[in-house]
Amino acid sequence: MVRLVRHPGIGAVGVIRRVGVAHLFAYGIASATALTADNAVARRVGPLLPYLEVKPTYVAMV
């Protein structure tokens, strides 16, 4: 089961600066794999993807 934890104050740009592009890419693959396992969560997160620049970042926690 994957649950999403809100990280207030850290946008997508902040995450890229902190983690680095290479790590973010690897994390994105892991997150996508984890989210695919839970279709209900994937459907909920899908529509938010275009707005990650302006909305709080959601991190998948297993």
Report the alpha-carbon distance of residue 4 to residue 7 in Å, rounded. 10
| Cα–Cα dist 58/39, whole Å | 16
User: What pLDDT score does 40 carry?
Assistant: 56
Measured CA angle at 24 (ends 37, 46), to 5 deg: 40
> What pLDDT score does 44 carry?
62
Q: Is the pLDDT of residue 22 over 50?
A: yes
Average pLDDT, the chain: 53
Please check the confidence at residue 50 and state whether its pLDDT lies above 50.
yes
Q: Tell me the residue range of the domain where 33 lies.
A: 3-61
**Pseudo-torsion of CA 32, 62, 15, 54, nearest 10°?**
70
Strands 3-7 and 57-61: antiparallel
Please report the pLDDT score of residue 29 as a whole number. Answer: 56
pLDDT at 55 over 50: no
Number of domains in the chain: 1
Element spanning 55, H or E: none
What value does the mean pLDDT take over residues 36-41? Answer: 53
